[in-house]
Amino acid sequence: MRKNYLLTPGPTPLPPSVCEAMARPIIHHRTPQFQAILKEATEGLKYVFQTTNDVFILCSSGTGAMEAAVTNLLSPGDTVIIVESGKFGERWTEICKAAGIICDVLSVEWGKSVNPADIAAKLKAHGDSVKAVFTTLCETSTGVSHDMEAIGAVVKNSSAVLVVDAISGLGAIPLKTDAWHCDVVVSGSQKGLMLPPGLGFISISSKAWKCVESSKSPRYYFDLRKAKKAIEKTDTPFTPAITLVIALNEALRMMKEDTLEKVFARHKKMAEAVRAAMKALGLKLFAPDAGSDVVTAVCVPQGIDGEKLVKIMRDTYGVTIAGGQDAIKGKLVRIAHMGFIEEFDIITGISCLEKVLSQLGYAFPLGSGVKAAEEVFMK
């Protein structure tokens, strides 16, 4: 018998009240009862997105919302700028190429954040030919956050729309969609919003909506024109994920009661504790200058197999963290601190990490990481 602890960058742990909401009897979606639920969910999402624009709920993971952004905004042959600083920046490029879009990729070293001036330079070089700039709020593969406020200030004066992948960051770190001129923001349910996978979300500004109306890309299920007509009647164009939307309302109520300010402060405290623990253990942070309050990426010690470390923690002790991807697979681990996580989850995760590191032959004073984290929590 053992408990399982989930410290991965999605899915994240579910609050008991969210689990209870999903156990309620199913209702029909073309009813006044569900209309009231859908209206509450849409308004709650606008609060978390910090926008007055339309926010659409999709039956998909966050990647479905990414594809919806591409196919609704663009036409084959359009030119875009894509910031690649990890696996999920690369996903924008893969989706755009599949849709016949011309991609000018701004490559950023993994573990670093993008310089907004580099985006400005590319926009200037292209003139008015760029239709969109694709970015990532939190690059989950590296634990890096990008300065979306500064990027928005650059893009707003161009003819391009700014598209933000906030799948990991939404509800965990600040993102002021309207104030920061983020024209399109996509997200998913299984991270900061404390739900199972299955819902995608996308907000569209009036500037971006003009692109939607002129796009020539083929689309059907993810056609946001259908979604807009439906939402004007407090409805959905196709069968929604009824149970997940009911649970979404419970998660949004929790966040509203807590307030976004306190939610962000809690994530910041968790991140500070994890980083303090890693430093106390003598471990190097992968992104020391651009680390995100969503997830911390840590380099494993020389001679330690990161994949084996993750496997033992998960399969022997029930504590699940994430490993590295692509070229950094086996070389780092990622400890998430987003969603329904509090300080004793972090303490448990660090304690398990210490135990397995010691078993694998890494020498350090046992308890030093836990002590450093507790000192942060005691402040």
Do 45 and 185 lie in one domain? The reply is yes
C-alpha closest to that of 366 among 355, 376, 379, 356: 355
Q: Do residues 197 and 278 both lie within one domain? A: no
Cα angle value 235/239/240 (rounded, 5°): 75
The answer, yes or no, to whether residue 109 has pLDDT greater than 80, is yes
**30 contacts 174 by C-beta, under 8 angstroms:** no
If one counts the domains in the chain, the total is 2
Q: Which of 321, 301, 320 is nearest to 361 (CA)?
A: 301
Q: What is the pLDDT of residues 317-349, one digit of tens each?
A: 999 999 999 889 999 999 999 999 999 999 999
Looking at residue 181, what is its pLDDT?
98
Give 164-180 as a 3 state SS string. EECCCCCCCCCCCCCCC
> What's the domain range around 236?
16-257
Is the full-model pTM beyond 0.85?
yes
Question: Are 227 and 56 in contact, with CB atoms under 8 Å apart?
Answer: yes
Q: Mean of the pLDDT values across residues 178-205?
A: 98
Q: How confident is the model at residue 366 (pLDDT cuts 50, 70, 90)?
A: very high
* 197 and 51, same domain (yes or no): yes
Domain check: are 242 and 106 in the same one? yes
Last residue of a domain, one of 234, 257, 280: 257
Q: How far is Cα 366 from Cα 19, in angstroms, rounded to an integer?
A: 36
Residues β-bridged to residue 357: none
Q: pLDDT value at position 350?
A: 98
pLDDT of residue 327: 87
Amino acid 2: pLDDT = 83
Q: What are the pLDDT digits (tens) for 127-148?
A: 999 999 999 999 999 999 999 9
Same domain, 179 and 276: no
How far apart (Å, rounded) are the C-alpha atoms in residues 320 and 116?
Answer: 35
Helix or strand or coil: residue 289? coil
For 16, list phi and psi in degrees, rounded to 5: -55, -40
pLDDT for 217: 97
